[in-house]
Structure 1
Amino acid sequence: MIQKQQSMALSPYMELYNLIVPADNMLRKINELIDFSFVYEELKDNYCLDNGRNAIDPIRMFKYLFLKTVHDLSDVDIVERSKYDMSFKYFLNMAPEEQVIDPSSLTKFRKLRLKDINLLDLLINKTVEIAIEKEVIKSNSIIVDATHTKARYNQKTPKEVLMDRSKKLRKTIYQIDENMKSKFPSKTTTDVLEDEIKYCQDLIDVIKKEEVLVQYPKVKEQLNLLEETVADDVEQLQISEDKDAKVGHKSADSAFFGYKTHLAMSEERIITAATITTGEKNDGKQLEALIEKSIEAGMEVETVIGDAAYSEKGNIEYANKNEIKLVAKLNPSVTQG
């Protein structure tokens, strides 16, 4: 059963937070800046509202995931750190002496409670709302573009994530014992995700046998994160083989396999909308969705700036109908028509 529980527990030790968590602490600032009550509204359909045991506060669980993303830790380690990091406890609205959750509860929350929730739109909309409220966004223009490069807002492929995390784990271990190189399995030479998973599983098995090594906190954290990632990828492979990814083209003579991220952002470089499509989709076809999502997020869109892909006939008609100025080089399909 879900209920609104986000009030700081009464405790004789609450004054500790004012002594330990300074006013300029990032998590304290976020707590003061953002009203997280929107989480209840977004997740209410994923909980029973009137019977059963009280669920762990969804806002607290959502904040755990925020911390997990910021610090790039496994469920186990982000919960472990929240036992003793007072800034974490303050951010999670816990009393200093309050017990933390079981890590399995966090795993269940991110896999089940967030199911069917469009987190991308939810977080973008909240970001835009705050940026407008704080007058960070002052423009009425959006810039539209699509990317299939490794930009900072682009997700890595599962294989790239595994490679990155296994590399960080190895580097951490080499700082302690460089002789471990001879014990590690040979790296995979293929582009197959299953081969990378097998390599990571073998690497994990070797490291776990080193009882002294795994006691180092920096090794333990990297190991737990890699192990969690492998488990998530194995589970995802059992659900889907990702048949949607298709070949698209960056230019007339280059191709890529996967997805495109289509973005709209304000002139202040705040992302106001995003859509994700398969690689072969035309950029221009996403313009209307990006404008509509930006408006839904709170933007007053008067001007749209993009390249020639966005100035096709349908987009020009849509822009004229909605009194939006479209700034883009004329699409060849229009000039030839």
Structure 2
Amino acid sequence: MLAQQETFQFTDYSGLYDKVVPKKHLLRQINDLVDFSFVYKELVSKYCKDNGRKAESPIRLFKYLFLKVIYDSSDVDVVERSMYDMSFKYFLGMSPEEGVINPSTLTKFRKLRLKDIDLLDMLISKTVSIAIEKGIIKSNTIIVDATHSGSRSNPYTPIQILKLRSKQLRKSLYENDESIKDILPAKNEDDSLEHELAYTKALVDKVSEDKLLVNIPMIQERLNMLMETLEDIQDRYTTSKDKDARIGHKSAENQFFGYKSHIAITPERLIVAATVTSGEKGDGKQLPDLIDKAKENGIEVDAVVGDAAYSGDSNLKKAKNEDIKIVARLSPCISQGFRSESDKWDYNKDAGMFVCPAGHMATRKAKQGKKNVQGNQVYTYYFDVEKCKACALREGCYKAGAKSKTYSVTIKTATQQAQLAFQQTEEFKKAYRERYKIEAKNAELKNVFGYDRAESYGIDAMRMQGAVTMFAANVKCIIKIMNGGK
């Protein structure tokens, strides 16, 4: 049962906050900037109003998730810190002496209350509206790119992930007291999952016995991570069960297993649109969606800055129809060509190869045709026919008995010729110099907010993680700009 409206209890101790949480403290500034009541309005329909026990405040639970991202912590650690950190209590709307929730409540909140909500678009829209209200966004240009997040299950087997987490815990123990090596259980040296599970349980039990050790923050964090991993593996008996994750390519030789977040920012470094896909999806095809979302969020887009992945014919034509300039270097390989199935084939700019509708990447390419003669030259991409023979989508794509499977695209269509001329102008060159900002933003999401790896399984969980992460990044960015930073 959810209360009819949010209420906050003030006690004789509430005045402590004015003394121990400075006005310039980040969490106080965030509380002053953002009216979190929008969370209550969005989630009120997910609760029963007159039956059951009184529910935890959805605003407070959302703030817990926000703190997890800001401080890159686990559920257990963020709840633990809210027991003694007065800035956390202030931000969460708690009285100084109030108790905390059970960490499992956050799991239930994610699964039961945030399910089926377009959290990503909602949270980005909220921060963009704040930025517009504060007069922070002054440009009509958006800068686009994609960043990848590894699946929670990649690249480790159950044994590998257990060994990694155990190693991290042992390292923190050794840094505190080298002599502890003598009392820890002997490491498992074989590749038996059963033996590794037994060793991990013994290690957890041994460390947990020492109350002094578990009160050391770094050791406690590593122990919690190991315990969560152990529980996860015991539940699934595998860490590679991620049905939505796919193999993507950073380059022709370097690949990853996970997801892609396609992001649009303004030159002020505010994220104004985003979409999350599986790892194999191409960047260029997400541009129309990013433009539309940015416009819905109040940005009058008149220019898009990006890399070569965004200079495909379909994007150039859409931009021309909407009077938008595409500031992206032309790659002849990006052309969608004139084949009827072209909308099903993705170009991977990092690998320089096309990916077929089944997700298989070409193995090589060759240029065909002669220059300065009737007809355009084409790039022909060759695929592994052994994969084609067993492919579920082979019907109508691969002819039985064929010794090769190719896909060809024309080079320099009329639309691309016009883009090539624009590429030589000073206007293009000046705007293109802003592209580094999106790369810096992607690095910030990964290095500061822990967005390099999925926290849970499935694309819905990845979208939820992306939503809270980008919301936190935008809020911090707005506060930084308001404080005179850039």
Question: Structure 2 CA distance, aligned partners of 1:70 and 1:197?
Answer: 32
Structure 2 contact 260–279 (Cα < 8 Å) conserved: yes
- CA distances 1:257-294 after superposition (whole Å, capped 9, x unpaired): 33322221111222222222233322211111111222
Q: Which residue of 2 aligns with 1:288?
A: 288
Counterpart of 2:328 in structure 1 is 328
For residue 313 of structure 1, what is the amino acid of its counterpart?
D
Query: Secondary structure in 2 aligned to 1:83?
Result: helix
Relative to structure 1, the CA distance from residue 225 to residue 23 in structure 2 (aligned partners, 3 Å threshold; closer, same or farther) is same
Matches within 5 A, 1:124-273: 124-148=124-148, 154=149, 157-158=152-153, 166=166, 168-181=168-181, 183=184, 186=187, 203-210=203-210, 212-232=212-232, 241-273=241-273
Pairs aligned (count): 331
Match of 2:26 in 1: 26
Give the deviation of 1:35 after TM superposition: 0.5
1:12 aligns with 2:12: yes
For residue 220 of structure 1, report the CA deviation from its aligned partner: 2.7
Contact kept, 8 Å, 1:3 with 1:49, in 2: the verdict is yes
Asked whether the 8 Å contact 2:142–2:267 carries over to 1, the reply is: yes
Q: Which has the larger radius of gyration?
A: 2
The change in CA–CA distance for 1:12 and 1:313 in structure 2 (over 3 A counts) is same
Moved more, 314-323 or 212-221: 212-221
How far is 1:29 from its partner?
0.9
CA pair 302-54 structure 1, distance change in 2 beyond 3 A: same
- Give the TM-score, by structure 2 length: 0.59
SS of residue paired to 1:137: coil
- How far residue 139 of structure 1 moved from its aligned partner, in angstroms, is 1.2
Q: Output the amino acid matched with 1:260.
A: K
1:43 corresponds in structure 2 to 43
Normalising to structure 1: TM-score of the pair? 0.82
CA contact (8 A) 1:4 1:57 kept: no
- Is the CA contact (8 Å cut-off) linking 2:233 and 2:239 kept in structure 1? no
Provide the identity percentage: 54
Aligned to 1:313: 313
* Stretch of structure 1 that moved more, 308-317 or 222-231: 222-231
Mapped contact 1:74–1:228 kept (Cα < 8 A): no
Residue identity matched to 2:62 = F
SS at match of 2:250: strand
Q: CA offset at residue 158 of structure 1?
A: 4.3
Code of the aligned partner of 1:92: L
Q: Could you tell me how far apart the structure 2 residues matched to 1:85 and 1:318 are?
A: 51
CA distances 1:200-256 after superposition (whole Å, capped 9, x unpaired) = 656434433555533445423431243235435665778992233333333445444
AA aligned opposite 2:65: L
Deviation at 1:304, TM superposition (A): 0.7
1:274 alignment partner, SS class: strand
Distance in 1 (alpha carbons) for counterparts of 2:204 and 2:277: 34
Give distance in 2, aligned partners of 1:26 and 1:72.
15
Root-mean-square deviation over aligned CA pairs:
3.5
TM-superposed CA distance for 1:141, in Å, is 0.7
When structure 1 is superposed on structure 2, of 92-101 and 205-214 the one drifting more is 205-214
Indicate the residue corresponding to 1:279 in structure 2: 279
- On the 8 A contact 1:4/1:40 being kept in 2, the answer is no
1:258 match: secondary structure = strand
Residue 151 (structure 1) aligns with: none
